[in-house]
A and B are shown apart, each in its own frame.
Chain A
Amino acid sequence: SAVISQKPSRDICQRGTSLTIQCQVDSQVTMMFWYRQQPGQSLTLIATANQGSEATYESGFVIDKFPISRPNLTFSTLTVSNMSPEDSSIYLCSVGTGISFYGYTFGSGTRLTVV
């Protein structure tokens, strides 16, 4: 299965600023997924990032707030823009490679605190 390197692992940011989270995969994958996990909650899908096309956002998430880049088949970034304390969450990227046999793999997560 794929191995994902996610950076940063954690950050404390001032409100109104932006943070870009990076995910690097050790193999080429078609789709990458970005999730948010608010404190005490399960994972909620933000968007699906396809290489060479615009990301597809889930209801309640918009590109202006969470712009995503997918420049190639092994890399993606998620930016959390104009942050507020409500954005404090764990953000995770995920890929599925050989889904039938390996399922989905997740990055180690970015723990974001907005003050």
Chain B
Amino acid sequence: KQEVTQIPAALSVPEGENLVLNCSFTDSAIYNLQWFRQDPGKGLTSLLLIQSSQREQTSGRLNASLDKSSGRSTLYIAASQPGDSATYLCAVSSGNTPLVFGKGTRLSVIA
């Protein structure tokens, strides 16, 4: 059974700092990995999707990497801003099956 772990559970940083969120999964036979952002009480916004054959994806200040063989992914946020404060969720898919989610990292960026 696939399990996804995210570290740290919570993170507080000053504005402008670069930061890394970590995600690990137990079964490397994944189809793709997706990072989401969730604001309090809201739905999920997809940030980045990495297919199993890819090593990384970039969108603006966000960069996600994937090391499928070791079961790890990182989300790098450059020059953090208070508007980046949210919960970040990592999820993996094994084909046309439901996503398996980690418990998330709750990020606070302090002005």
Write the residues of chain A forming the contact surface with B, with a CB cutoff of 8 angstroms: 1, 6, 10, 30-31, 33, 41-43, 45, 48, 90, 92, 94, 96, 99-109, 111
Contacts and interface: CB of A to CB of B under 8 A. Distances in A.
Nearest to A6: B43
Given A1-B46, A107-B43, A109-B43, 17 more contacts: A41-B103, A42-B101, A42-B103, A43-B44, A43-B99, A43-B101, A45-B98, A94-B99, A99-B31, A103-B34, A103-B49, A104-B46, A104-B99, A106-B46, A109-B41, A109-B42, A109-B44
A105 B104 CA distance: 17
Most buried by A among B41, B96, B98, B104: B98
Contact of A99 (B36, B43, B96): B96
A92 B98 CA distance: 13
B43 A106 contact: yes
Contacts of B96: 30-31, 96, 99
